[in-house]
Amino acid sequence: MKFITKSLVRCAPRLGVLKDIDNEHSLSIETPLAMLYTRGGSIPHITHEVYQICCKDPQIIQIPVVSTYQFQDAMEEYDGSISEFVGMKSCISCVTVQDPGDLTQPGHHYKDYVPLWTRSGKILLNSDKYMDIIESFKPDMYYLLSDGDTNVASAQKRVTKAVDNTIHFVNKCLERHKNSTILQNAFVMAPITGGYCLRSRKRCLDELKSKELIDGFLIDGLHNNGPEVEFLTFDEIKDVIDLVVKDAPDNKLLSVQGCWNPVTIIKMVQKGIDVFDTSYCYIVTERSSALTFSMDKDSNLQGYEINLRQLRYADDFQPILPGCECLTCTKHSRGYIYHLVAVQELLGSLLLTIHNIHHFMKFFEKIRHCIAEGTLSELEKLVAEQFDEYQDEIMQGKEKKLNDENEARECLRLRNHPTLEILIRKRKVGVAIVNKAVLQDQGILMSSCDC
């Protein structure tokens, strides 16, 4: 496999293609792209049969070792690759270390080892053990082992240690890769760590960018994964992105992991980042929401995101996003999905996942189209307006909830009503909100109460 970019301009959006992929179908995939996020080799909430119905185009599946570590014994006896083992033979496999959709526990560091928190507990991974896993998985592409346990609050001592460990891991892994007959055609991605210290980032990149076996770079150590990544702003990571993009060889694939929101993704694409993942779709689905932001300024704006747990959608018989061609929107209504979510049916999460992944993939198609047309800044402005409006609504809702609860507790203080305290604690009044009108309906406060 090799990466070919159509632009040699640094710190600018670029189109590229992954070609000569070593599988039966001789696939080629355009970049920028989003890898399909998996857990245990499966897309959360979706079976392989449903995936085949929904996704016709070739995709790259992201397979974290932290959720597939227990596959090693079986894979050592299996002749095929990890993508065949998990039932997704038509997909290109990319093995990563950590799970971008789940918070990586910080700390627990040991010399020459990386801690992984698997379903069976903590395990310690060194370069040799990691490469044993990679050789048994036989992936099309993989990330080298790294110490990415840094974030914006990391101390300089931790950052320096992370860089030292990463350089050591990469050198050891490359030795194994060079001598491996199984991995000769695998696409190798090297991690660039160093937290938010530009000097440490540059030291790590300078040590690794001259390695001949490296085909691309992962900008690692920006966060500890999980839902909190959604709220990291581009301004916080801009200097790190700029440094890596400027100093990295222009023919190398550049990747980031994490649940980045669409606005931040567009800004990173504008700097030259090529590969992301769909873990953002996973966290949106987990909060029973659906992505509805518009990518066309001429279309009717539906809002950035809707939460199907809200009562307003109980009698709404239009699709999640009018005009969307996904299986969910062509067959089912908002009201039906509200019912599924309300009674905790598994089908609810499945339908939301189908829509969110479809919408996210269309988003990347739009990004590639805008790069070709030179209109990416217009797309950024359109999506940012919807995202900012959605964030304002969320903040206003939180403020209203806090004010209503404070008001109810003040009523309790004045009237010392024990039943009211129970209702507040158990959230039995209203939708997790206690206010005067509801309390009056419950008969706890008289209509004339002015407390």
User: Could you state, in order of their start, the residue ranges of all structural domains in the chain?
Assistant: 2-286, 290-353, 381-451
Q: What is the pLDDT of residue 412?
A: 53
Q: What is the pLDDT of residue 410?
A: 60
- pLDDT-derived band of residue 58, with 50, 70 and 90 as boundaries? confident
Mean pLDDT across the stretch 265-293?
98
Q: What is the pLDDT of residue 94?
A: 98
* Spatial distance between the Cα atoms of 185 and 7, rounded to a whole number of angstroms: 25
* Spatial distance between the Cα atoms of 337 and 349, rounded to a whole number of angstroms: 9
> Which is higher by pLDDT, 422 or 384?
384
Ligand-binding annotation for 329, yes or no, is yes
Which CATH class for the 2-286 domain? alpha beta
Among the residue ranges 119-133, 325-339, 416-430, the one predicted with the least confidence is 416-430
Ligand-binding annotation for 355, yes or no, is yes
Whether this model's pTM surpasses 0.85: yes
- 433: Cα separation from own chain's centroid: 31
Q: What is the pLDDT of residue 191?
A: 98
Nearest C-alpha neighbor of 186 from the set 237, 227, 229, 131:
131
For the cut 60, the answer to whether the pLDDT of residue 63 exceeds it is yes
